[in-house]
Each structure stands twice: as C-alpha cells, then as structure tokens.
Amino acid sequence: MIEPHGGRLLYKLALAFVATALIPASLVFLDTFLLRDLRELQGLTTTQALQIDIMGAVVFVGIIVVFIARSLTRPVRSLLTGMQQVHQGNLESKVPVLSDDEIGTLSLRFDEMVEGLKDRNFIRQTFSRFVPESVVDTVLKDRGVVHPQSREATILFTDIAGFSTICEQLQPEQIITMLNEYFTTMAEPIHQYGGVITQFQGDAMLVSFNLPVEDPDHAANAVRAARALQQVDTSHRFLSGIILNTRVGISTGHVVGGTVGDADRLGYTVHGDEVNLAARLEQLNKEYGTRVLVAQRTVELAGNGFEFRKIDQVRVRGRETPVTVYELTIDSVS
C-alpha cells in the first residue's frame, strides 16, 4: 500500500500536459534547426521528417495519455467498487491505496470510515442483544437519549424462585454462567413480543411493553411473553441440568420512561406505580402458589385467547382501592 504524503493531483496533470505539449514541439524544433543535415543524409526532406516526427509524437503522446488515464481511473474504480460493497452491507471491504495524491488520501479515509462503520455496527449488534431493533433505531437517532415519555404501558417483572438456595450449591463462576445463560434464553421470547428489558436486578428482570416503542397490543404481548417464559422453564435445563422456575407479575397503567444517569453513562428505565405493582404481584406468587399473576387492567386489555383464574383482591401500598389479581393458567393456553 502506498502511503499518501501530500502529493497533488493538479501538479501531476499539469506535468503531463506540459510533457504532451513539449514533445511534438521539441521534435519539430530539432528537425527544423538542428537535425536538418542528418535528415538530408538519410534522404528525407524537411516535410517528410516532420511527418515522421508528428506520427511518432502522436504515438508517444497516446501512450502517455493511456498511462495517465489508467493511473487516474484505476484508483477511482477501486474506490467505487469498495463503496458499492459497503452499500450492499459488506463492511470487510478494503480499498487499496494506489497513489500518493488526493485520490490516495480519499481511499485511505474511506478505509478509516469503514472501520468506524464496523465499530458502530458492532455496538448496534451488541445493543440489539438486549433491546429490540426498533429501540436501537430510536436511541441512535436521538444520539443515545430517549426523551421522557408518559403513557399507558404494561410492566412485566420476573424473579427466579428459590434462587438463593440454588446458589448455595454452586461456585461463583457457575452462578454467573447460569445467570448469563438464563438471561440470554429468556430475552429471546421477551424481544419476540416487543418487550424491552430495562433492568437486570440480580436474578430479576424489569420489562416494559409500549415504552419506548408504541405497541397497541402491549397487554396481550406481555401475557404472551410470560407464557413463553414458563414454557422455557419447562423445556430448558440450565448448566446442563438445573431447573429454574420463573415467577412473573404483570401490571398495566400509566408510567414514565426515559434515559437517566450522569454525563458519562445513561440507562433506560421506567417509573410509576405500575412498576411497583408488577414487582408486588411477582412476590405474591409465593403466597398463592402460582407462577404468573396478572392485574385486572392487563386482563381487560389482553382480550381473548388467554385463560385467567381470579385469585383475590389485594391491597397494595400507595393505592386506596384493592387490586383484583388473576392467575394466568399456563397449561390450558395453547
């Protein structure tokens, strides 16, 4: 690869122009004033000599033009090919630097730009492992800040039953490995139904539906996600043998969502009574021997296709009226 060092394309073109202009003029001058005697010895008249010189000059100039055109079009063609490959999504494309002028500098900067795109794509792919693609688009569009939003949303809170007891039998490295496997496995159905995991709290997850991305079917999708989590518990064995049972609480109501943090680090989160209620319902699963408890507002919005069983009316701190709580019957729902 050639390292550009400030060469100027204009100077090269000017030099080529001067060369192509001087060559014919020089041959004519030589034949007219300096080589007349030599041409006479060769049996050539001045006119014949000039004709030969002009033909030779044309051939020589043609060779120079071809060389100049090739030196200009080759790096441009290479750069264009690289741009087309990047446009098609190939970020492994590299443009060789074939000159030390502005085109070479442009090729070098293009390669640096592609490296930047690869870094951004890596960040995007990493981010997409935790939130849906639509949320990634929102965050990147707003330069990392999701502006505060307030609207009705469905909150899903999960926790692993008996997690402390399970951890007593494991080494620290095994606990982290198991949690990573668990969160990775559980994130898939959550993302499938449009949920946004806003927080990992130990072995718990706080998930929002309809924030920050609108979803008119947010209540039903939250219930579908809860059902899918229970199905994962039934079919999956963590650390090649450990069964984990996920308790879920779901509540629907008005919440506020947005990015919070300091100047160097931000995180997306949701706040409101419904967040506290979802966490409270998750805990109530212990008392009622259930796996998924759902607040009445969520049941009303979820519509048909689910079977709920009324459990009780419970009082929640901060609410004057009791909340009617339902169990999502997993086995009876297809």
Task: List the CATH number of the domain containing 250.
Answer: 3.30.70.1230
d(CA 298, CA 306): 11
Same domain, 72 and 156: no
Q: 171 and 304 share a domain?
A: yes
- In degrees and rounded to multiples of 5, residue 63 shows phi and psi of -65, -45
Strands 292-295 and 246-261, by their bridges, are: parallel
Beta carbons of 156 and 195 less than 8 angstroms apart: yes
Q: Where among 125, 153, 185 does a domain terminate?
A: 125
Give domain status of residue 116, yes or no. yes
Q: Which of 194, 199, 190 is nearest to 225 (CA)?
A: 190
Mean pLDDT check: name the lowest of 114-123, 227-236, 288-297, 304-313: 114-123
The residue type of 326 is Y
Judge if 94 and 198 occupy the same domain.
no
Can you tell me whether residue 238 is helix, strand or coil? strand
Token pair for 319: 């609410």
Q: Residues 31-81: pLDDT tens digits?
A: 665 555 555 555 666 666 666 666 766 777 777 777 777 777 777 777 888
**Domain extent for 71:** 9-125
* 204 and 304 co-located in one domain: yes
Task: Indicate the pTM of the whole model.
Answer: 0.66
Residue pair 167/175 in contact by the 8 Å Cβ criterion: yes
- Per-residue buried b or exposed e for 303-317, using 16+ beta carbons within 10 Å of the residue's own CB: eeebebeebeebebe
Mean pLDDT of 3-19: 63
Count Cβ atoms within 10 A of the Cβ of residue 328 and give its class: 0-12 exposed, 13-18 middle, 19 or more buried. buried
Count Cα neighbours of 227 within 13 Å in the Cβ-side half-sphere. Answer: 21
- Residues of the chain with pLDDT > 90, as a percent, come to 43
Distance of alpha carbon 248 from alpha carbon 245, whole angstroms: 10
> Is 132 within the bounds of a domain?
no
- Please list the residues that pair with 307 across neighbouring strands: none
Average pLDDT over residues 106-126: 76
Whether residue 203 sits in one domain with residue 55: no
Residue 182: inside a domain:
yes
Average pLDDT for the chain: 82
Domain match, 203 and 314 both:
yes
Distance separating alpha carbons of residues 20 and 121, to the nearest angstrom = 49
Q: For residue 313, what pLDDT is reported?
A: 94
Considering the domain boundaries, does residue 137 fall inside one? no
Q: Are 111 and 95 in contact (CB under 8 A)?
A: yes
Q: Looking at the structure, do residues 150 and 120 belong to the same domain, yes or no? A: no
Determine contact, residues 241/233, Cβ cutoff 8 Å: no
Residue 140 located in a structural domain: no
Question: Residue 334 has what pLDDT?
Answer: 38
Task: Find out whether 219 and 251 touch, Cβ atoms under 8 Å.
Answer: no
Query: What's the residue count for the chain?
Result: 334
Which of 125, 153, 188 is the last residue before a domain boundary? Answer: 125
User: What pLDDT, on a 0 to 100 scale, did the predictor assign at position 204?
Assistant: 97
99 inside domain: yes
Nearest residue to 51 (alpha-carbon basis) of 23, 33, 28: 28
Residue in the structure block whose two tokens are 């469905």? 154
Q: What is the pLDDT of residues 143-169, one digit of tens each?
A: 666 678 899 999 999 999 999 999 999
Do residues 177 and 308 both lie within one domain?
yes
Q: pLDDT tens for residues 211-264?
A: 888 899 999 999 999 999 999 999 999 998 999 999 999 999 999 988 777 766
CB 208 within 8 A of CB 198: yes
pLDDT tens for 82-107 read: 888 877 777 777 777 776 667 777 77
How many domains does the chain fold into?
A: 2
Q: How far apart are CA 270 and CA 208, in angstroms?
A: 8
Beta bridge partners of 106: none
Considering the domain architecture, whether residues 262 and 291 belong to the same structural domain is answered as yes
> Is 313 part of any domain?
yes
154 and 102 within one domain: no
281 neighbors 293 (Cβ within 8 angstroms): yes
130 located within any domain: no
Residue 97, SS3 per DSSP? coil
Residues 165 and 255 in one domain: yes
Q: Same domain, yes or no, for 172 and 68? A: no
Tell how far CA 12 is from the center of its chain.
42
